[in-house]
Amino acid sequence: MGRHFLRPGGASTVRPENRIAWSSGALLLLLLLNCSASRQGAVPLKGDFEKLRERMVAEQLRARDIRSPRVLEAMGRVPRHEFVPNSAKGLAYEDHPLSIGEGQTISQPYIVALMTQVAEPLAQHRALEVGTGSGYQAAVLAELVAEVYTIEIVPSLAQQASETLQKLGYENVHVRHGDGYAGWPDKAPFDIILVTAAADRIPQPLLDQLADGGRLVMPVGQVGGIQTLTLVIREKDRFKKRQITGVRFVPMTGKVRTPPN
């Protein structure tokens, strides 16, 4: 699903001059790569993508507030360019979202890393993602946990994501087309639930399917405006909430749009 980061909170705020320097450097590098690709009549070469991915991790993630070694390593392994259309592959490692069709986007790398870091994934965890989109977030999770269950409400995106994940060998990712509001009850409970679309409330079925000690991360707030990336930690029958930062996500669709009783 489409989403993008607005501003890191607290001490992690990126200074404007650093963001401009990165954008200028990235633009120069991409121009050089695109010139090379156009001479060959192809998108950038595999080695070029690897260099861009290394730079993404160093300058967009590690230089900000992404500190988890496991998350940084996973972001460095997953080929983001495989999850975008051919026309956008040369921009796959830029610091912004990209269109994937159906009015949706793939998140900027930072917000994927941030949500993953906040979820604190462990190797034995089982994760649920609501809003598969391109499949990129699911692939990052798949590098870090035992099993990933991901639900996409747009049929064509669910099919495309499933094919991409299978092609890349992510056998521990299970994709389903459907309304993520209801979660995936027959596979619950989940240690991690990531919701990659915004709503004015967290669906109760997702809270019910969160394991004791589990962590749910979701943008909550006004649809079409600025939302708050929110962390929920379950402690038996209690749910502790913590606000992370301001974000802007596409709206969650389906049953969540129906006013609660």
Residue 78 to residue 22: CA distance in whole angstroms:
21
Determine how many CB atoms are found less than 10 A away from the CB of residue 223.
Answer: 17
pLDDT recorded at residue 1: 52
pLDDT recorded at residue 6: 44
Contact yes or no for 148/193 (Cβ under 8 A)? no
DSSP for 152-204?
Answer: ESSHHHHHHHHHHHHHTT-TTEEEEES-GGG--GGG--EEEEEE-SBBSS--H
The token duo for 243 is 């606000």
User: β-strands 190-195, 210-221: how paired?
Assistant: parallel
pLDDT recorded at residue 20: 34
Residue 150 parent element (H or E): strand 147-152
Contact yes or no for 141/129 (Cβ under 8 A)? yes
Identity of residue 25:
G
Q: Which residues are catalytic?
A: 107
Per-residue pLDDT tens, the chain, 261 aa: give them. Answer: 544 444 333 223 333 333 333 344 444 444 444 444 433 335 566 679 999 999 999 999 999 999 999 999 999 999 999 999 999 999 999 999 999 998 888 999 999 999 999 999 999 999 999 999 999 999 999 999 999 999 999 999 999 999 999 999 999 999 999 999 999 999 999 999 999 999 999 999 999 999 999 999 999 998 878 999 999 999 999 999 999 999 989 889 888 878 776
Q: Which of 159, 179, 155 is nearest to 167 (CA)?
A: 159
pLDDT recorded at residue 45: 65
Contact yes or no for 80/92 (Cβ under 8 A)? yes
Q: How many helices (H) and strands (E) would you count in the chain? A: 7, 10
Contacts of 91 (CB under 8 A, 6+ apart): 30, 84, 98
Predicted TM-score of the model (pTM): 0.83
